[in-house]
Chains A and B, each alone.
Chain A
Amino acid sequence: QSVLTQPPSVSGAPGQRVTISCTGSRSNIGPLYGVHWYQQFPGAAPKLLIFGDSSRPSGVPDRFSGSKSGTSASLAISGLQAEDEADYYCQSYDSSLRSYVFGTGTKVTVL
C-alpha cells in the first residue's frame, strides 16, 4: 500500500492532453524531495521519463512534462499518441518511512 496515490487509469483520444496526479504528504512530496516519473510497457523494464519534478532526460519527447505543487505532483502528456499506452509511476523519498517510494501506478489508454 503506497503512500503516493495515483489514479488507476486515465484515457484520452489521440492528440489530446492527459494528466496523471501523484498525491502524497509532507513527509514525501514537498520542497525537500524531488518527484520522478517512469513509463513501463507490458513485459518491459520501467524507463525514466521525468526527474527532479520537471526535468526530462535526453531522448524523452517534450510532449511529456512534470510539475509539482505542495504535496502533489503531476505528469502531463500532450499530443497523446498510441505509443504512449503504458503504465506510469511517480517516485519520491519518504522521511517517515525512511524509504524511497513509488506511486500506485496509472494505466494510460489511448482511445
Chain B
Amino acid sequence: EVQLVQSGTEVRKPGDFLKISCKGSGFRFGSSWIGWVRQMPGKGLEWIGIIYPGDSETRYSPSLQGQVTISADKSISTAYLEWSSLKASDTAMYYCVRSQGHDYTLWFDPWGQGTLVTVSS
C-alpha cells in the first residue's frame, strides 16, 4: 500500500525553529516528487513546494519561497518541511503528498494524514 505518514502535532512559539517530517512507503520514494500543501484554519488548500529526493531538486511556490525549506533523505524515505523562525501566520495543517504525472501536469496522491502546527505566544 502506498502511504505517507507524517509527524505529530506541534505547538510552538513565534521565533521557534521547527522541522516536520513525512515518511513514505509502498513506492519508490527516490523516484517520486514529494510535495507539501498548507491549509490554514477554515481556509482552502495552498501548494508550498515539491522535492525530488533522487537528486534533491526543489521547486517552491514563489509566494512562499524563502519562508520555508523543503528537504529529503532518500535513504530513509523521508521528506521534511522546515521553518527557521515561526510566525503566528504559519498556524495551519500541513499535508505531504506524492506528486504524480508529467511535465507540469502533476496531481497529488496519496496525501499524508496531516501535521497540525500551532504557533502562539
In the complex, number of A-B residue pairs with CB atoms less than 8 Å apart: 68
Q: By the criterion of a CB under 8 Å from any partner CB, how many residues of chain B are at the interface?
A: 23
Residues of A within 8 A of B108 (CB): 36, 38, 46, 48, 91
Given contacts A45-B114, A98-B62, contact A51 B109 (CB under 8 A): yes
Q: Is the CB of A99 within 8 A of B105?
A: no
Chain A residue nearest to B104 in the complex (CB):
A93
B26 at the A/B interface (Cβ < 8 Å)?
no
Residues of A within 8 A of B35 (CB): 100
Chain B residue nearest to A104 in the complex (CB):
B44
Interface residues on A, range: 20 to 34
Q: Is the CB of A102 within 8 A of B95?
A: no
Known: A47-B109, A47-B111, A97-B62. 17 other contacts (CB 8 A): A32-B104, A34-B101, A36-B108, A45-B113, A51-B107, A51-B109, A52-B105, A91-B107, A93-B104, A95-B104, A98-B62, A99-B47, A100-B47, A100-B61, A102-B37, A102-B47, A105-B44
A-B contact pairs, 28 of them (CB 8 A): A32-B105, A33-B105, A34-B105, A34-B107, A36-B107, A36-B108, A38-B45, A38-B108, A45-B95, A45-B113, A46-B45, A46-B108, A47-B109, A47-B110, A48-B108, A48-B111, A52-B101, A52-B105, A89-B44, A93-B106, A95-B104, A97-B61, A99-B61, A99-B62, A100-B47, A102-B45, A102-B46, A105-B44
